[in-house]
Amino acid sequence: MSLPKSDLTKQADGRVTMQLGAVLPKTAEVRDGHLFIGGVDMVDLAHEQGTALYVFDEVDLRDRMEQYREAFHECYPNSEALYASKAFLNKEVLRIANEEGMFLDVSGGGELACARAVGFPMERVFVHGNNKTEHELREAIEAGVGRIVLDTRIELGRVSRIAGEMGKTQKVLMRITPGVEADTHEYIKTGCEDSKFGFTMLEDFAFNCVGDVLNVPNVELVGFHCHIGSQIFALHSFDEAVQVMVEFVARVRERYGIEVEDLDMGGGLGIAYTVDENPSSIREFAECTANAVRKYCAQYSVPEPRLLVEPGRSLVANAGVTLYTVGVMKTLPNIRKYVGIDGGMSDNIRTALYHADYEAVIANKADEPRVEIVTLCGKHCESGDAVVLDGSLQHPDLGDIVCVFGTGAYCYTMSSSYNGQPRPAIVFVRDGAARVVTRRETYEDLMARDI
């Protein structure tokens, strides 16, 4: 069965692809019925490397990093984009982020250790976390990180003491919760008032704490941070957050007499997980935040600070896909068809956790229409273990290679070895070549720490 012409589409650069819009990585194409990414046949790759397998389109990844850098530098020259490494972390993605001139957002000691291992310039690293341990703070200050983003007054005391012991002055930002309700999933909303993160603005707590930060030795307050949530489609939420933050900066200036160097607006730009989703572009996000900073700085008569953003998902999600092999199938008449794949909640917890949506295709039938509605279920001992719930797929057969799109963010970093499932390998593809950048976990790895 081959597709009616309209189901495949010719892109401006001549590639023939499925009509999956912004879900597809940049170099995806269909050749002789097979899905190719980075010039590599996903079916051959799955057979060579085994499945489940995470695959990243390196051109796509670098392109988005470049877009962030260029869009922000053009819209607001005094700006930097930090890669939020919680979205996807291994050494290679950090090497690439470094080569592409990104700054880096690390959350906790493990992410920092990875950055140090690849020689990421520490002055470009910002350290986050709502409960950084004494040990993590010590490592960060010792390493010479550019900024520590203070989350609490308790932490302020720790940073001051540790920096003092080391004879250093640590530059810090204060993380503020601006009370802006972003239009996103409740679990990944962070900026609103009822939040474990940051200094609340309620009862002017954050404002009063600015005085504490200024009065403490060995700490230099250089700016403010907020992060209003993730997978945000409504750009006006960022405009609103900028207004709250700039107004705050203006009050701080008036009361404490300090000029703020940095305004860090966090991450959160949404991406397309499904074909009908139409997120704002990186350029639109840059224009919106840059215009908002200029507009509100003029309105509140404060000098324009350096603008920082911390994208995670919008840099890596659509660059990554996961390949699986169909191992079993089960049809429940009038209920649903289960297609059993050799992975699941261990490599992608997002569906079980957030009921996330994904598009999937069969890589060896990429030119056929997706005529069935199936649930791609995982192999774990948990009923909620699925990667795609009631999604379209070509007619499946045992042994087919399934490709799930948009899995580049928050899948590998949130993976587990539940049921003793070794984590998949990670392969980067580019110009017809594939290279393993993280090898598959082995049974020995799973037991390596056991006595």
Interface residue list for ligand LLP (CB under 6 A)? 84, 86-87, 105, 128, 188, 227, 230-231, 266-269, 310-314, 350, 410
- 128 or 138, CB closer to ligand LLP? 128
CB of 52 vs ligand LLP, minimal distance in Å: 18
CB of 125 vs ligand LLP, minimal distance in Å: 13
- 396 or 408, CB closer to ligand LLP? 408
- 36 or 273, CB closer to ligand LLP? 273
**H helices of 300-394, where?**
313-316, 350-354
Candidate list 209, 226, 381, 411, residue with the active-site label: 381
Distance CA 362, CA 28 (A): 13
Does the active-site annotation cover 381? Answer: yes
CB of 446 vs ligand LLP, minimal distance in Å: 24
- 305 or 311, CB closer to ligand LLP? 311
- 76 or 358, CB closer to ligand LLP? 358
* Burial readout 175-191 (b: 16 or more C-beta within 10 A, e: otherwise): bbbbbbebebeeebbbb
* Residue 114 φ then ψ, to 5°: -65, -40
Distance CA 35, CA 13 (A): 17
- 84 or 387, CB closer to ligand LLP? 84
Of the candidates 33, 27, 81, 32, the residue with the CA atom closest to the CA atom of residue 56: 27
Of the candidates 48, 37, 52, 25, the residue with the CA atom closest to the CA atom of residue 415: 52
User: Which residues neighbour 109 within 8 Å (Cβ) at sequence distance 6 or greater?
Assistant: 133, 135, 136, 139, 140
CB of 207 vs ligand LLP, minimal distance in Å: 21
CB of 105 vs ligand LLP, minimal distance in Å: 5
Please list the residues that pair with 173 across neighbouring strands: 149, 223
Contact 371, 4 (CB under 8 A): no
User: Which residues neighbour 312 within 8 Å (Cβ) at sequence distance 6 or greater?
Assistant: 83, 84, 85, 86, 87, 88, 105, 230, 267, 409, 410
Distance CA 173, CA 260 (A): 10
* Residue 226 φ then ψ, to 5°: -145, 160
CB of 140 vs ligand LLP, minimal distance in Å: 15
Could you list the beta-strand ranges (E) of 140-298.
147-150, 170-177, 199-200, 219-225, 262-264
Q: Give residue for tokens 């998949």.
A: 424
Catalytic residues: 381
